Each structure stands twice: as structure tokens, then as C-alpha cells.
A and B are shown apart, each in its own frame.
Chain A
């Protein structure tokens, strides 16, 4: 009996593209989409670059009544959900309502919406706060709004584990498919490029202060000096492979074959961080040997200490330069809960095309024994990919995706 959970639909929105085709056309060739912040005047802040989603006109996609009650990250997620259904060739109305669910990750919720209401509260008074504030900003809003828009009543959920959460959501979605749900949406979206969100991200102390878009977010580079935040994310449709084949699914992008998650020892313990263990758990869960992995999509934090930890974990599992490693998020910035789902999208498209997208802008520091794909994309037979994600505090998650053919 097959128990494969496969990806059959994709909705994606990032700085380098809306929709799978546009996204991949830019990503496969390493197109840098990082630029100056335009959503507000960032010139007085220590960080001034971002990966902003451009050309997204919400009124072209969503009914007007939804717009005032949703944050930008929810608008992007709702549109991505529509795209994913279309990509999968599924009409939500044709699936029993209790057999469809939504499991998303979130990092900061509808932060810009919250900012605007906090401003009204403190500058005008409590009676000016919007009735929508009660649900527009909280972390559960995307799962709730997607389920409502598409009539999905099955097992659903929301997880928050900083940048690692997107993989945890995909793992939880796979759990629900294995328990019998027919279709689960999974992924994550964040969009906190607003002054209040910016200040919170600056406070974390890990943002790049560079003003050069192609020399700002440089994981594994000798000049690594922090990351550039982005906005956007991806939503995936997951189904059991039998369900997908029975309905004649056009796109079976790949299998979510393995997952592992760990938490680092408390800082100062001097013990090994948990990433290597997360990789080992994910590979074992997938029944895959390290030698079978064709590419690793790195978390690529972009700070020397964190890059060192990740390089050590990859080297410990795969050997020195033992596997091609890439970080296409250097094109679009780090997307928080959306980061890892976007990497899963890149991974399945890399499998499909036989091409590893490059780590744009980065020149590998000789300090790392990594086979980092830089400069040009690399043609390669890719059947198995490993996606890594870490969250501030010590969250480590790893997912193995595999070709189904």
C-alpha cells in the first residue's frame, strides 16, 4: 500500500515572481530581486533593503469586502491558495468539506494591520480601533480565511517556529494526509515590511546594513553580515499519491518523503546544535542514505556564526563538499514562515527540470567545505532534495522531497 504524500499544486508569491512560472523563470537563472525598501521610507533605519513583492494588485484578485479586513500577508496567501487550486486542477467544491484542511505557518501575523490599529489606539483612542483587528492580525488568520474562502472543514492548524515553521506546517499537513484527509493546504506567508515590523526585525540584530542589493545577503561568503528580509511565501497542495492519481492530477511535483525537527541545546551549553540531528531524522524518516541526496537547500542565515553551524552540520552528514548546496533565497530575502515552503517549491522544480538554481550574489568563503552552487545554475539529475530551515532561539527543521516518477 502506498503512503506517499505528494505535492500536486503550488501557489507562490515572492519578490521575483507571482505564480509558479514567473517565480521559476527568475529563480532558475538566479535573478536578484532585492532592492531598496519602497513600502515606507526606510532611510533613517540601520537596514534599508528588502525583497518586496511587486506588481501585486489585490483588487484584481479578491472581492472588495475581503480587502479592508485582511493584512497584506493574508491577501497574498488567499491569492496563492486560488493559484494552487488552479494549478492542481481541483475545484474545492468537488471534495467533501471535512476531507480538506489548511495547515499554515506564521511568524509575525498581520503585523502591518496591527501597526495601523495600534496607531489609532494610541493617537486617537480605543473607539477608533477596527472591528477587524480582533482577527486580522493573529497568527491563525491565514488558515481561517483560506478555509472559509474554499469551504474546507477538515483538520487544520497553525504553527509558529520562526523561519523553521514552514517545514513544520508541511510535516503536519503530511500527518493529516496519512490519517486520511484527501487534500491539505500547507505553507506559510509573512509580510511585515512596515515601520513597526521593521523595527522589530532590526531589534533582532541579524539584519544586513548594506545598501548594495547584490552585496547585502551573503550566506557562506567571507563578507556575510546579516540577512535581508523579504515578504511572501508559498502554499502547497498535498494529497496522497493514490488520490492524486485517481483524479488524474496533472502535476505530481514530488513526494514529501521525510521530516525531522529538533531544538538546540540552551545557549552556553557548549554542546552541538541540533541541525545535524534534524537532518539525520529526516533522512531516516525518508529511508534515504546521505549519498542519495542530490541537493541541499540551505537555511543560509547569512551571519558568520550561524553559517558556520550549518556548514558544519552539512559537512558532518555529507562529507566535505559532498553534496551540492544552494540558497536561492539570496534572490528574494528571508521570508520567515514563507521561506522554507518557497525552498520546497524550488526543490520540486529543480527535480522537474534537472537544474539547481544558484546562490545569487555569493562568493563562497574558503572557510567552508561546501559545494555551493554560485554564479550560474547547475544542470544535474535531481531525484532527492533536502530542505533546511532554522528559527531564532534554536528551531531546526529538515524536509526530504523526492521525485515520484
Chain B
């Protein structure tokens, strides 16, 4: 086996939990961060709930110019990248900028910044020929979201390969998976990898309203995100970021780094079916899981916990339940499965990385986060979804999955390095 890749630093910014510590408190206590939207007046929308982060960039070390030129999603990524780098201790140990790269995932880029600026240059939608004299220079950074990776590279001092990975709602898994490949093949020794999205804006709410993807459970916002529950009726939009420091195992061991987990396997497949629809059989997600397990040289029955996509739409939760059964067989019924989207909402491209963070923290604490708001069983979702309260259990290997628009299906296997076969 060639170079093995481990996580040595974690940074998280999620609704209800800024910083890895406070994020884990939220999850382990089963609290929810969903609420009636406060960022704008949502009263004309079908879905009026979201998981918003109470984030003040000034309090997180961003300078006035950084704040002015960065979309909120870029700000998130810079803050979490800095947290991850500090957590890894790598900055003190020294690293070669030329051998350090950046991959940041994002499904919708600077969509909130674009929405705001369009409103101004079009004067509230009145002008077809929008007015360039009202456009700020940083509008180009919103136009092209690779600016997110540029900001992170500047913040951490990386000068190796840098890119944004944008595969919709699997971006957060695919960005980290891409970084793993770069370290394995020897292109980089360290990768600052993760994802960010800050999509809670009128245009995003409107487009999900239009396809009834988001929940209309507006009378009970704190309990609106209900993955795997029989009464679920759509997802709750969220926002946030998680970024990791990835290193090659041997060099991380040499410098005595704390190793959270090895990224033992990763794969992505497409369903080639529909931009937003899923076939109920879960075959393509199952294929991704199987390939990821194979890359990890593990069997399905070695998985201690499945961190589900669990968006809370009717079709998703059935689809992935079927995929888990296809790949893990009877072991699927014995494995706890949970969706943190019940607590922090669905932050589109960011959530895959936030769920990797939840997975490694579950390993760190030997505790599985719950699925909040799960009261009513659904006969088509008949696995152990860890309702309401976290569960203490030995957790050495985790499967985390994502599914998204465009048909992308991704799976990642995280394991304690001593546990995975060398």
C-alpha cells in the first residue's frame, strides 16, 4: 500500500456551533440550530426556516478589507482553515508551501453575494442592462468561486495545487477525496481541504420552493428538519464550513501530530438518471460505498457508524437506506445511522465536510451523534437511526455518504489508522 492520508487538524463553523468544540457540544447534546429565517423577511416564501450561523467575521480575525472582498462563504472557509491549521500544530512544525495545496468544495459559490449585488446593479430587477457603475471590484470574486481557494491559500500560506471542487451537494466529500488523491500520488504532502457554502438568500430559497425540496414546516422551526421520520417533508437549508489539515501518515507520526482518523477509502459515482431525482434502489450510491470500502480494504461489517446524507426529503432517505442495505447487507441493520442535518440543516456543498468533521469527532469521543426530531417510524426507513439522543459506543470506523443534484453519489470511509489494514 502506498502513501496513507490522515486528518491532523479540524476546523468547523456550523449553525449553533462555531469551532469544533462547540459544534460537538451541539451534536452530542442533540440540540437543533434551525429557526425562522432572520437574514431577510421570509414571509412570502413557502419554506421560511433555515439553520443560520450567528457569525461575526470581526470576532474571527478577519480584517475589514478581507470582509469587504469576501463573500460570507469565503469568510467561513478562511476561519475554518485557520482553526484547522492551528489545531494541527503544523504551522509551528513548519511546512513547505510548495508541497501544500488547497481544495475547497462549494455547491453554489458566492450565491448570496451575487444575489445582493444583482439586486443593486439591476436596481431591484428593474434594469435589463444592469448598471456596472454600481458593481464593486470584488464582484469578480463572486462571479468565479475559485476565489474561495485563493483566499484560503493566502490565509494559510499554501503554494501547491489549489482548486475549488463543485459537485453540488457532494462537494464537501469530493473536495476532501480529491485532496487525498493528491497526497497519495505524491503531488502534495499537506492539503488544506474542506468545503463551505452560505446559501441562505432569497434566490436559493426561491429555487428550492419551486421544486418543493425544502420543508414548509414553518410553525415549528426548531423541529423542522426531520430526516428518516415518517412525517418528513423536505430539507432545511443551512450554511457553514469545515476544513481539515490532511497529511501523509508517516510524516504526521514523525512529528508526533494528533491523528484524528485515516481517510481510508473514497469514491464517487453518478446516477446518470435525473438532475434532481433519485432511483429508489440506491444502486449508484451502493457502488460508491463498495468502491470506498474496497479502497480501505475493509468489509462492510467493520463499519461502526454510518453518517448518513439524511436530508429529510422523502426520496433521499429511502434511497440511501436502500443503498446501505445493498452494500452492508444484514450489518446495515446492526449499524447506527444518523443524520446531523436534523440539527445543523443542509448546507449544500459544505455539509459533506461538516459531516466528515462529525464523523471524526464521533471517533474521537467514541460517541455517535443522534438524529434529532425522529419520533415517527417510516416503514421504508427501517434501520437504527439513533433517535434523539447521542449514543456512547466504541467507534473505530465510520462511513459517511453524500448525494446531490446532478446525480452525484459519494462515499468516504474514515478509520483509526491502527485499525485499517496496513
The finding on whether chains A and B are genuine partners in a shared complex, rather than unrelated, reads: yes
A residues sitting closer than 8 Å to B (CB atoms) are: 40-41, 44-46, 69, 97-98, 101-102, 106-109, 111, 114-115, 117-127, 129-131, 133-135, 138-141, 143-145, 147-148, 150-162, 165, 168, 172, 175, 192, 195-205, 261-266, 274, 277, 336, 391-395
B residues sitting closer than 8 Å to A (CB atoms) are: 44-45, 97-98, 101-102, 107-109, 114-115, 118-119, 121-122, 124-126, 128-132, 135-140, 142-147, 149-150, 153-154, 157-168, 171, 174, 178, 181, 185, 202-203, 205-211, 213, 267-276, 284, 287, 404-408
Give 14 A-B pairs besides A120-B125, A127-B44, A200-B139 with Cβ atoms closer than 8 angstroms: A69-B275, A117-B206, A133-B206, A139-B145, A141-B275, A144-B407, A148-B273, A148-B274, A155-B268, A156-B270, A199-B135, A264-B159, A392-B144, A395-B150
A199 touches B132 (CB 8 A): yes
Q: Which residues of B contact A264 (CB under 8 A)?
A: 159
Q: A131 contacts which of B101, B107, B165, B210 (Cβ < 8 Å)? A: B210
Q: Which residues of B contact A109 (CB under 8 A)?
A: 109
Nearest to A42 among chain B residues (CB) is: B129
CA distance A107 to B138 in the complex (A): 15
Closest 3 CB pairs of A and B: A144-B406, A122-B125, A393-B150
Q: Which residues of B contact A168 (CB under 8 A)?
A: 161, 163
B122 touches A203 (CB 8 A): no
Give chain B nearest CB distance to A58 CB in angstroms: 18
Q: B118 contacts which of A44, A196, A263, A336 (Cβ < 8 Å)? A: A196
Q: Which residues of B contact A263 (CB under 8 A)?
A: 101-102, 149-150, 153, 158-162
CA distance A41 to B127 in the complex (A): 13
Known interface pairs A133-B210, A148-B273; A140-B284 also in contact (CB < 8 Å): no
Known interface pairs A44-B129, A123-B125; A200-B143 also in contact (CB < 8 Å): yes
Q: Which residues of A contact B185 (CB under 8 A)?
A: 175
Known interface pairs A98-B269, A118-B203, A139-B166; A153-B284 also in contact (CB < 8 Å): yes
Q: Which residues of A contact B203 (CB under 8 A)?
A: 114, 117-118, 121, 129, 133
Q: Which residues of B contact A205 (CB under 8 A)?
A: 137, 140
Q: Which residues of B contact A198 (CB under 8 A)?
A: 132
Q: Which residues of A contact B122 (CB under 8 A)?
A: 118-119, 122-123, 196
CA distance A204 to B140 in the complex (A): 5
Q: B210 contacts which of A108, A130, A159, A261 (Cβ < 8 Å)? A: A130
Nearest to B121 among chain A residues (CB) is: A199
Q: Which residues of A contact B136 (CB under 8 A)?
A: 203
- Can you report 15 A-B residue pairs in the complex whose CB atoms are below 8 A from each other? A44-B129, A118-B114, A126-B206, A135-B276, A135-B406, A139-B145, A140-B166, A148-B270, A196-B122, A199-B121, A201-B143, A263-B149, A392-B147, A394-B150, A394-B153
Give chain A nearest CB distance to B39 CB in angstroms: 14
B157 touches A133 (CB 8 A): no
Nearest to B138 among chain A residues (CB) is: A203
Q: A121 contacts which of B125, B150, B166, B168 (Cβ < 8 Å)? A: B125
A202 touches B132 (CB 8 A): yes
B161 touches A159 (CB 8 A): no
B168 touches A140 (CB 8 A): yes
Q: A157 contacts which of B101, B140, B167, B273 (Cβ < 8 Å)? A: B167
Nearest to B164 among chain A residues (CB) is: A160
Nearest to A141 among chain B residues (CB) is: B406
A196 touches B272 (CB 8 A): no
A144 touches B270 (CB 8 A): yes
B135 touches A202 (CB 8 A): yes
CA distance A204 to B274 in the complex (A): 35
Give chain B nearest CB distance to A160 CB in angstroms: 4
Q: A135 contacts which of B114, B163, B270, B405 (Cβ < 8 Å)? A: B405
Q: Which residues of A contact B114 (CB under 8 A)?
A: 114, 118
Known interface pairs A175-B181, A201-B140; A125-B268 also in contact (CB < 8 Å): no
Known interface pairs A130-B210, A202-B135, A395-B163; A147-B147 also in contact (CB < 8 Å): no
Interface centre among B135, B144, B165, B274 (most CB of A within 10 A): B144
Q: B168 contacts which of A120, A138, A199 (Cβ < 8 Å)? A: A138
CA distance A148 to B109 in the complex (A): 23
Known interface pairs A115-B118, A266-B154; A155-B144 also in contact (CB < 8 Å): no
Nearest to B128 among chain A residues (CB) is: A195
Nearest to A155 among chain B residues (CB) is: B268
B267 touches A155 (CB 8 A): yes
A102 touches B270 (CB 8 A): yes
B268 touches A156 (CB 8 A): yes
CA distance A358 to B210 in the complex (A): 49
CA distance A192 to B139 in the complex (A): 14
A147 touches B166 (CB 8 A): no
Q: Which residues of A contact B119 (CB under 8 A)?
A: 118, 122
Q: Which residues of A contact B407 (CB under 8 A)?
A: 144, 147-148
Q: A45 contacts which of B107, B132, B167, B269 (Cβ < 8 Å)? A: B132
CA distance A205 to B144 in the complex (A): 14
B109 touches A139 (CB 8 A): yes
CA distance A277 to B139 in the complex (A): 30
Known interface pairs A119-B128, A122-B122, A153-B271; A160-B163 also in contact (CB < 8 Å): yes
